[in-house]
Structure 1
Amino acid sequence: MNKVLHISASPRGPRSESRAIAATLLDTLRELSPRTPIEEYDLWDGTLPEFGPDAAAAKMAVFAGETPQGAPAAAWDAARQTFRRFDAFDRYVFSVPMWNAGIPYILKQFIDVISQPGLVFGFDPATGYTGLLRGKRAAVIYTSAVHGPGRGPAFGADFQTTYLEDWLRWTGIDDIRGIHFRPNLVTADAATGRRLAHAEARDVAKLFLNGEDR
C-alpha cells in the first residue's frame, strides 16, 4: 500500500493558503482510500537537523570513499535519519509558499540535509548524477500573493517552481503534479482562484494513487 507524506514549508499554520489546499487534497485521499497511511511533516517543528560544517565535512568524506568520524559522523547520522523518514513514503504532497521569488529557507534546508550521495543520488565522474528515488510521485501546491501569470517583472519572478521541480527530477521523481494559487492580493478578488485551486487539489487526489495518466 502506498504511503503519503505531506511536507509543509509554511509557518503560518491554519492561516496558510498552501496548507489549506494540501488539506483538501489529503482529505480527498482519505475519502477515496481510508486505509492509505498519511503522515504530516511540519518542517518548522524543530526536528530538522542543521547542515553546517560537520555535515559538509561528512558529505565530502563520503564522496571521497571515507567514513565520517567524530562530530561529522553524528551529523551524517542525523542526515541519514531524516532521509530515511522521507524515503519511507511512496507519495509526497509539498505545500510551498513563495518567499522572495523562491522557496522558504526551511525547505531548502530540508533539501540540503537529505540530498546526499548514496541516498538521494549516485554520482559517476564520467556520466554525472543519477537520481535514486525511482517509482515515487509528488504533488506540489505553489502559492504566491503578488507574482502570477501575465504580470510584469515588477511583480516578481518564479524560481519557486523551477527550483523545486528541477530538484525532484534530479532525485529521480519525475511524476510531478503542480497546483498553483497565485492571486494578486493587492488588486484582485482571490475567491475564484482559491476555489479553482481546491477543486484541482481534489482532482489531483483522484489520480494520485491510481496510476492514471496526467
Structure 2
Amino acid sequence: MKNILVVKGNNRPASEAVSSKMYETFIENLEGVNVTTFDVFAEDMPYFGQDLFNAFAKTQSGEALTDIEQRILAAKQKAMDAFSAADVVVFAFPLWNLTIPAKLQTFIDYIFQSGFSFKYDENGQLVGLMKDKKAMILSARGGIYSTPETAPMEMAANYIKNVVNFFGMEMIDEIIIEGHNAAPDQAERIIKEGLEKVAEAAKKLSAVPV
C-alpha cells in the first residue's frame, strides 16, 4: 500500500482559500492508500537559522541544549522522518507574495540536507538521494502567472519543482488553479474545473501502484 505524505501549506479555511480546498478535495478522493498530512502551520517549527547550527555544535560536543535548540532539532527530525516514510509527497500550497508561505519554506529547509536528500559525488556532481519518491503539486494563485510576461515572477510552484528535481524525485502531476481573483466573473468555473482535476489526480494515484 502506498504511503502518501501531503504537506499542507495553508492555514486559511477552505471556504476562503482555494489551495486549502484543493487539499480537502485531494484527501476526500484518496482510496486504498496510507495518507499522512504534515500541516506546517500546526507543527512547532522554529525558523531555520543560527539556533539550529548551535544545536548541531552542542550535540557534537555533548553540551546541554536550550529549549529552542531542542525544539528545532525535534522539528527537523520529525519533518525528515515524515518525508522518508513517503512514497509520494504532495505539496498543497498557495502563491503568497510571489513565493511560498514561510512555514512551508521552513519544512523545505528542514529536509534540504546533504547526506539526506542530496549529496555530491567524488567528481563534485550533485546526486539526488530521493529517486525512489514521487512528487505532486497542488497550488492556487489568484492572479495569472502562466504568460510569458508573468511566469518569471512566479517563485512558488517553480521553486517546489526545483527542489523536487534537486532531490532526484519524479514529478508525476502539477495542478494549478489560477486567475480566479483576476477574473472574478469566471472564478466559479475556474475553481470548479481545477478541483475536478484534483479529484481525478487523487483517484488516479489511488489506483496506480508505486
- Using the size of structure 1 for normalisation, the TM-score is 0.81
1:99 to partner: Cα distance: 1.1
CA change 1:39–1:157 in 2 (3 A) is same
Letter of the 2:140 counterpart? T
In 2, the alpha carbon distance for the partners of 1:87 and 1:68 equals 27
In 1, the alpha carbon distance for the partners of 2:62 and 2:122 equals 25
In 1, the alpha carbon distance for the partners of 2:172 and 2:120 equals 23
- Residue correspondences, number: 202
Which residue pairs with 1:180 in the alignment?
Answer: 176
Which residue pairs with 2:24 in the alignment?
Answer: 23
1:78 to partner: Cα distance: 4.1
* SS in structure 1 at match of 2:83: helix
1:119-158 aligned at under 5 Å gives the runs 119-124=116-121, 126-150=123-147, 152-153=149-150, 157-158=153-154
In 2, the alpha carbon distance for the partners of 1:95 and 1:149 equals 18
Note if 1:105 corresponds to 2:81: no
Letter of the 2:34 counterpart? P
1:111 to partner: Cα distance: 0.6
1:69 to partner: Cα distance: 4.6
Which residue pairs with 1:89 in the alignment?
Answer: 86
CA change 1:166–1:69 in 2 (3 A) is farther
In 2, the alpha carbon distance for the partners of 1:135 and 1:69 equals 35
Asked if the contact 2:144–2:182 (Cα under 8 Å) also holds between the matched residues in 1, the reply is no
Asked if the contact 2:8–2:38 (Cα under 8 Å) also holds between the matched residues in 1, the reply is yes
1:76 to partner: Cα distance: 4.3
Which residue pairs with 2:47 in the alignment?
Answer: 50
1:182 to partner: Cα distance: 0.4
For structure 2, list consecutive stretches of 5 or more residues without a partner in the other structure: none
Task: Determine which of 189, 194, 209 is the counterpart of 2:191.
Answer: 194
* SS in structure 2 at match of 1:81: helix
CA change 1:205–1:69 in 2 (3 A) is same
Letter of the 1:20 counterpart? K
In 1, the alpha carbon distance for the partners of 2:17 and 2:172 equals 22
For structure 1, list consecutive stretches of 5 or more residues without a partner in the other structure: none
In 2, the alpha carbon distance for the partners of 1:93 and 1:199 equals 17
1:162 to partner: Cα distance: 1.4
1:29-68 aligned at under 5 Å gives the runs 29-30=30-31, 33=32, 36-57=33-54, 67=60
- Using the size of structure 2 for normalisation, the TM-score is 0.82
- Cα deviation, 1:142-164, whole Å, max 9, x if unaligned, reads 111123334855x9821112111
Asked if the contact 2:5–2:82 (Cα under 8 Å) also holds between the matched residues in 1, the reply is no
Comparing 97-106 with 82-91, which one deviates more in the overlay? Answer: 82-91
Letter of the 1:167 counterpart? V
C-alpha root-mean-square deviation of aligned residues, in Å? 2.7
In 2, the alpha carbon distance for the partners of 1:68 and 1:24 equals 48
Asked if the contact 1:98–1:144 (Cα under 8 Å) also holds between the matched residues in 2, the reply is yes
* SS in structure 1 at match of 2:29: helix
